[in-house]
Copies of this chain bind each other. A is one copy, B any other.
Amino acid sequence: MSHPTAPLDARHLRPAGRATRAAIEEAGRRLFGSHTYEEVSVRAIAAEAGVDPAMVIRHFGSKEALYLRSIDTSLGVGAVIDGPVETLGRRIIAYFLDQRDSPIGKRHAGLVQASYRQQVRAELNRHTRVRFVDAIAPRLAADDAELRVALMVAQLGGFLTMLFVQQDPLITDADPDQVIVLYGDSLQRLITG
Tier of interface size on chain A: 35 or more
Q: Mask for A156-168, Cβ within 8 A of B = 1, else 0? A: 1111011001111
**Would you call A68 an interface residue if the criterion is a C-beta within 8 Å of the partner chain's C-beta atoms?**
no
**Would you call A79 an interface residue if the criterion is a C-beta within 8 Å of the partner chain's C-beta atoms?**
no
Instruction: Report how far A178 CA is from B144 CA in the complex, Å.
Output: 9
Instruction: Report how far A151 CA is from B175 CA in the complex, Å.
Output: 13
Residue of A124, A148, A158, A171 with most partner-chain B CB within 10 A: A158
Q: Are B147 and A154 in contact (CB under 8 A)?
A: no
Residues of chain B within 8 A (CB-CB) of A156 are 158
In the complex with contacts A36-B116, A112-B115, A116-B38, A161-B170 CB distance below 8 A: no
Q: Are A157 and B162 in contact (CB under 8 A)?
A: yes
Closest to A187 in B: B186
Instruction: Report how far A157 CA is from B182 CA in the complex, Å.
Output: 17
Q: Are A155 and B147 in contact (CB under 8 A)?
A: no
A91 to chain B, nearest CB (A): 17
Q: Are A151 and B190 in contact (CB under 8 A)?
A: no
Within 8 A of B (CB), among A93-112: 109, 112
- The 7 residue pairs across chains A and B that have the minimum distance between CB atoms: A158-B158, A150-B170, A154-B162, A157-B158, A154-B158, A125-B168, A186-B190
5 A-B pairs within 8 Å (CB atoms) are namely A133-B170, A146-B170, A151-B179, A155-B155, A186-B189
> B-contacting residues of A (Cβ < 8 Å)?
36, 38, 109, 112-113, 115-116, 121, 124-125, 128-129, 133, 144, 146-148, 150-151, 153-159, 161-162, 165-171, 174, 178-179, 182-183, 186, 189-190
